[in-house]
Structure 1
Amino acid sequence: MSDQYSLNTRFCEICAVFLGKRGKDSVPSLTRALDTIATDLARNEDLRTRMGSDDPSIWPSLHQLWNFLANYPSADADDPALGILIVSIARFTRNLVAGVAMNQQNAYADEPSLRRILHLYSSWSAFRSTDCNAFPPTRMVVQALSNIVTTNEDLISRLWNTYLTLPEEQVVLIRLLGSPDPKTLLSLLVLMVNCIHNSTERRSLLAKSRVGARICITLLDRMVLLYDAEDSSDSAKAFDYGYHLFAHLFDGGFVPDLYNSLSVEGEVIAPHQTTLLKLLDSYLQSSQTCPMHCDMCHMLSGIFFRLSSYSQSAIRRAIGPEQSEPLNGTNELPQELDLLLPKTCEALVLATQCIVKISLLSEEQWNTDPSAVDLRAIFRDSTSVDGQGTAESVIELLRLLDAFLPRIYFGKAVINPVTDRNVTSPAADPSGFSYLKRDLVRFVGVLCHKDKALQDRIRICGGIPVIMNMCVVDERNPYLREHAILALRNLLDDNRENKDEVNNIQPSGYWDNEGVLREKAGATLR
């Protein structure tokens, strides 16, 4: 097999024998020969080039093999011999085309056959997920398809445009993302990341098209399941590649398009949008430079207002229109519990963290380069649909949260009927509210830093007493007191009016050892 002419001749001969007999008895000899050739091809790029270009041409025989497999009766898809044959032919194809543009071009003619096989095996494995016989053929075909197009811009574009414009039920990417085999999922995500790498057009198609949205929804579901995978496992590697795929979309500024495509009519926040915000938050926290995407900032500002407005309305319904002081220590039950409030607040924490990170990065960049865009201004100057400004929205929400949520003081919760009267509704679950006060207070501190206009707005809307009231220990909000002190420092910085406001505020109560606010005798409550 070392002689090139004899290698091509041998390949054509064994293919002709198999296609002539088409029986199970001829499968072992074909697979043994293909596996031997595939091993040699993997080691020798020059051999790949010569085998793909010399006579007799191997391509007609290879096309016939793939066509035979693509038209194999689906009723016999669970035949182990068929799976073994697919693995051998796919491995041969994968190794033959690796890094050789001409071979890739010739092999791409078999893409419809490969797609049909993937469609067959993804359907079969969906019903037989406990049987791993379908995994090796599916995985190897995906790897072959990946090698056929990788580094070949023309073929990648043709493949991506084809797959994202197919009828939804025929999109094998969606079906394969549901594969229970992490190795198959990893191979698929490698292919997808390679497809959108350095291509604005292909990223746009993924973020904006209907099929692209379905792909992203399916991938987000898988990433939730893969999040706790053991380090260095195939599942963990698949999660990393999924994250890289979304990071490419974030880099390209496609967050608003993708977020909107994940929306569900009638819902303030969809589960997949929350998962996307988690990925965006992770992406931003790992960034060393500020992503200059104004559209993303406007999107985050809109998300914040929408979630804040919903949370304010839900809390008002819970504590009642006349309730303006904390419920701590009272026997008053909540009037109406909103089942969506915890999830809304969870998403609100993520949106706030994203905004704070962008603001900090932008301020740092603006300090070193005054010509840079100050993205903080987008958040500072935005208003909600009802005309509420950012500062006013944050302060009002903090005021309501202080009346609605108990503080946890050194492991002891301040009594609050919303969460301490055997209320079994999911809305009473405090886990969805973790870190909310802390991040909102931090948001105030970041926005008003060296900004007298915003400092004044916070004072005018009554925000200084609210921030002062956050200078407490709350185990649900780690470092709440520290962030509140820093926010208060930024509010008073070079602002005489705010300092006078603080000096005029006299303590009207004190916190006892149980973390309950007690009124001082003779004090006037503000």
Structure 2
Amino acid sequence: MQIGTQAICNMLTGNMAGSKLVWKEWMRDADRGSVYSELLAINDDGVIMATMILILNCIRNSEELCQIMVNAKTGVAMLNSILNDLERLHSDEQNKNFELGYAIISQLIDYGHFTTIYKTIENTSDNKMNGRLTMLIKVLDSKIHAYKEGEVPDFLGHTELKKISGLVRQLCQRAIFVMNQVIEGQQQEQEISSVLEIDDVSEVYTALVLILQTSSTLLTLNDQGHTVFKEMLIEDDVLKSVTDLLTCCETMDQKKQPGFNYLKRDSVRLLGALCHEDRRMQDKIREIGGIPIILAQCKIEDANPCKYSIYLREYAILALRNILKDNHENQAIIAELEPKEAVQTDELTEMGLKAKLVNGEVKLEKA
């Protein structure tokens, strides 16, 4: 099979007319085209490599053939197989087959087919998050971060930006549902492990972290595209969704239940970006009670790290700066806050110190 596939690949390489003719026939004739999606499912790296090279050679630099692939039943079957292979190989990104699969999906995204692929795979998965969808988001996220600094990538048109905005809200709601299940399970003294037996929990978490990071990145761009995306987020009421997510994460922490690592960090970062130089968002976060929950994040947490040594507390401080800037109503909320108690931390206990609240100020004394 590998030799036969390589032979076809050799015949079509550099033969644009032949590639176009053959590709259209494969996409039209399900019986012929399905052979190659079946080859992609074989547990043989050599066969998979030859098949991916063949597919890539056919669609490379051809908007027409990419369009045909994402709309054909045979093409969708190939995409499912390719994304499955990427998921299987994601821990070994130096693997040649991973590079080939990434190149195929990347080529399709370049021609603006992210949303089409996402919806198609979602429809074949009972609208549940799965590894193929997560891998598709990973490829998109990687391409955005690799794009030239300061500009919205050319492959992100209105449809793609709108899809990203919708995913923030959709995945936030799903994560909140899962965490509420955990909290309710604890209240009813159920086994937490049984509550967490939801098929797509892990995929929702991974996808949500990626989408939050991607959205924050797009909001920090300097060109006009970031303004368009921000208005989409506002229209989808993402500020409310992310604030609810952050509140739920905080509740999980207070109940000593493990939350989704990184979610607080990336939620705070996105909220800060939304409130940057935007009076509407500053007022909105005050109205929904989001300022105290942001203020509560001004602490160090091992579960919410950030590369480059920037942690949750730093993102929270930056977010507060954006929320309070030139907004007297928001500043008044902070000014009215009064300390309620001095928290005795394990670190203070180890140092032989005790925290006390005296006349509104925290004092330390020997234990």
Which band: TM-score by shorter chain? 0.7 to 0.9
Match of 1:396 in 2: 244
Taking the aligned partners of 2:62 and 2:89, their CA distance within structure 1 comes to 27
Q: Structure 2 CA distance, aligned partners of 1:355 and 1:154?
A: 40
- Once residues 7 and 115 of structure 2 are traced to their aligned partners in structure 1, the CA distance between those partners, rounded to angstroms, is 34
Q: Deviations over 1:286-326 (max 9, x none)?
A: 122312411111111222212212222333343349xxxxx
1:162 aligns with 2:25: yes
Q: Deviations over 1:456-487 (max 9, x none)?
A: 11111111111111111111110111111111
Give the direction of change, closer, same or farther, for the CA distance of 1:164–1:335 in structure 2 (3 Å limit).
same
* Matched AA of 1:460: E
Counterpart pick for 1:270 among 98, 107, 130:
130
1:307 to 159, 171, 178: 171
> Structure 1 residues 520, 349: CA separation in 2 closer, same or farther (over 3 Å shift)?
farther
Query: 1:472–1:480: 8 Å Cα contact kept in structure 2?
Result: yes
Q: In structure 2, what residue type is equivalent to 1:259?
A: Y
The one-character-per-residue Cα deviations of 1:307-347 (angstroms, maximum 9, x if unpaired) are 212222333343349xxxxx9xxx98469834334432222
TM-score by length of 2: 0.83
User: By how many angstroms is 1:243 displaced?
Assistant: 0.8
Query: What's the counterpart of residue 294 of structure 2?
Result: 467
Alignment of 1:203-242 (within 5 A): 203-229=66-92, 231=94, 236-242=95-101
| Cα distance change of structure 1 residues 499 and 149 upon mapping to structure 2, 3 Å threshold | same
Q: Identify the residue that residue 253 of structure 1 maps to in structure 2.
A: 112
What CA distance in whole angstroms lies between the structure 2 residues aligned with 1:477 and 1:299?
26
**Structure 1 residues 225 and 315, CA, compared in 2 at 3 Å: closer, same or farther?**
closer
| Closer, same or farther: CA 168–353 of 1 in aligned 2, 3 Å | farther
Letter of the structure 1 residue corresponding to residue 247 of structure 2 = R
1:245 maps to a residue whose letter is I
* 1:243 lines up with 2:106 in the alignment: no
Pick aligned residue for 2:142 from 282, 302, 310: 282
| Equivalent in the alignment of 1:444 | 271
Report the TM-score when normalising by structure 1. Answer: 0.59
C-alpha distance 515-142 of structure 1, shift in aligned 2 (>3 A) = farther
**1:375 maps onto 2:233 in alignment:** no
Asked if the contact 1:319–1:335 (Cα under 8 Å) also holds between the matched residues in 2, the reply is no
Q: What amino acid sits opposite 1:281 in the alignment?
A: D
What per-residue deviation string (whole Å, max 9, x for no partner) do you get for residues 188-214 of structure 1? Answer: 222222221222221122223222221
Code of the aligned partner of 2:14: T
Aligned to 2:334: 502
In the TM superposition, what are the counterparts of 1:95-110 in structure 2 within 5 Å?
none
Cα offsets for 1:82-108 (capped at 9, x unmatched): xxxxxxxxxxxxxxxxxxxxxxxxxxx
Which residue of the partner structure matches residue 182 of structure 2? Answer: 318
CA distance 1:162–1:378, change in 2 (3 Å): farther
Q: Is the 8 A contact 1:298 1:378 kept in 2?
A: no
Structure 2 unaligned segments of length 5 or more: list them: 306-310, 349-354, 361-367
* Residue number in structure 2 paired with 1:346: 206
TM alignment of 1:89-100, pairs within 5 A: none
Which residue identity does 1:339 align to in structure 2?
A: E
- The alpha-carbon distance between structure 1 residues 450 and 191, as it changes in their structure 2 partners (threshold 3 A), is same
The equivalences for 1:449-460 within 5 A come to 449-460=276-287
Cα distance in 2 for partners of 1:515, 1:260 equals: 50
The 8 Å contact of residues 84 and 131 in structure 2, kept in 1 or not, is answered as no
How many residues align? The count is 340
The one-character-per-residue Cα deviations of 1:18-56 (angstroms, maximum 9, x if unpaired) are: xxxxxxxxxxxxxxxxxxxxxxxxxxxxxxxxxxxxxxx
Deviation (angstroms), 1:442: 0.8
**1:243, 1:510 → 2: CA distance?**
52
Quote the residue 1:359 is aligned against.
219
Counterpart CA distance in 1 for 2:231 and 2:178 is 27
| Percentage identity across paired residues of the two chains | 27
Counting only pairs closer than 5 Å after superposition, residues 67-86 of structure 1 correspond to structure 2 as none
Q: What residue is the counterpart of 1:293 in the other structure?
A: 157
Paired with 2:358 and 2:251, the residues of 1 have a C-alpha distance of 22
| Distance in structure 2 (CA, Å) of the matches to 1:464 and 1:225 | 42
Q: For 2:341 and 2:297, locate their aligned partners in 1 and report how far apart those are by CA, in whole Å.
A: 14
Corresponding position: 1:513 with 2:345? yes
Letter in 2 for 1:470: Q
Q: Secondary structure at the match of 1:365?
A: coil
Tell me the equivalent position of 2:313: 481
**Per-residue CA distance 1:254-276 (angstroms, 9 max, x = gap):** 11110011114544413311121
- Mapped contact 2:165–2:233 kept (Cα < 8 A): no
Q: 2:76–2:120: 8 Å Cα contact kept in structure 1?
A: yes
Q: 1:251 to 1:510 in 2, by over 3 A?
A: farther
Rate the CA distance shift 1:493–1:404 in 2: closer, same or farther, 3 A.
Answer: same
Evaluate the alpha carbon distance shift between residue 267 and residue 508 of structure 1 in structure 2; reply closer, same or farther with a 3 A threshold.
Answer: farther
Deviation at 1:376, TM superposition (A): 2.9
Query: Who is 2:308 aligned against?
Result: none
Residue by residue over 1:98-150, the C-alpha shift from the partner in whole angstroms, topping out at 9 and shown as x without a partner, is xxxxxxxxxxxxxxxxxxxxxxx4xxxxxxxxxxxxxxxx2x33232223222
Structure 1 or 2, whichever has the larger Rg, is: 1
Q: Tell me, in whole angstroms, the C-alpha distance in 1 between the residues paired with 2:84 and 2:326.
A: 49
For residue 520 of structure 1, report the CA deviation from its aligned partner: 6.4
Change (3 A) 1:156 1:509: farther
Question: Could you say which residue in structure 1 is the equivalent of 2:60?
Answer: 197
Deviation string for 1:430-453 (max 9, x for gaps)?
Answer: 5xx221111111111111111111
Following the alignment from structure 2 to structure 1, what is the Cα–Cα distance between the partners of residues 276 and 161? 19
| Change in CA separation of 1:254 and 1:275 when aligned onto 2, cut-off 3 Å | same
Matches of 2:11 and 2:265, distance apart in 1:
51
